Amino acid sequence: MKKNRVITTEDILLKLCQSVSGVLSAATSTQVTYSAMVQKINKTSLKPDFGCFVLFDGGFSGLVVINFTSKAALELYSSYMKNMGMPEDELAVLHTSDEVGDVLGELMNQLVGDFTNKIRKELQTNITQNQPKMLSLNKQVLLSVDTNLDRPQARRVTFSTAKNNIFYLELAMDKTEFIQLEEFEISEDESPDSILESARKELAGPAPESEPDDDASNDLLDELGI
């Protein structure tokens, strides 16, 4: 990373958007995209039909909210479950079903985990998250960050599913900047497959040496007159 680079709130928001898009796309085997435009808002809020939120704290504090329409929630839930091998006739058909909330909560846990990992590696600071909360809503609910923010900022980004269903990501955090003082390398994530393969090789130990060829041994003994 280039020395003296400045990371702002918008840069942190972009990392979060990349985590949301990347994790949801991989989990559902569909294309989940986000808008190149970000909207400044005054307050974060949970909105119908389905709202998820999670607080994070550490190097900086904030709140992540994702508001799904019923169609977007069901599409992501269905795509994820079918990708996991669930037959379509066994899927829930209402966004208010417990199964839908459980899946969206697990997906949000994964994407925020991916985001905190990016922050740890790229900004060299740690943030921790609480357990995501999910609510099926028919009215808007205002949320504020349960911490002291000197200069709170809030942003909203629009996301689209493969079937063009819309959902919204909202981020509230203190206005902050990270200024790089020295150059450093960002370590690449090691894939689970390569980790398992390395573990298998360590457990197997070194390959056994091949036995000497019997004919070659006999020829050597003949030459020595033994």
Domains and CATH numbers, the chain: 6-179 (3.40.1550.10)
Mean pLDDT of the chain: 84
Rounded Cα gap, residues 137 and 92, in angstroms = 18
- pLDDT tens by residue, 147-163: 556 788 999 999 999 99
**pLDDT class of 165 with cuts at 50, 70, 90:** very high
Question: Which of 1, 140, 165, 153 is closest to 68 using CA atoms?
Answer: 165
**What is the predicted pLDDT for the residue at 152?**
84
pLDDT at residue 191, rounded to an integer:
47
- Span 111-161, pLDDT tens digits: 999 999 999 999 999 999 988 988 888 888 877 655 556 788 999 999 999
pLDDT tens profile 190-200: 444 554 455 55
201/56: higher pLDDT: 56
pTM of the entire predicted model: 0.78
The answer, yes or no, to whether residue 69 has pLDDT greater than 90, is yes
Tell me which of 8 and 212 has the higher pLDDT: 8
How would you classify residue 4: left for phi > 0, otherwise alpha for psi between -120 and 50, otherwise beta? Answer: left
Residues whose CB is less than 8 angstroms from the CB of residue 181 and which lie 6 or more positions away in sequence, other chains included:
3, 4
Sign of the CA dihedral running 93, 95, 100, 104: positive
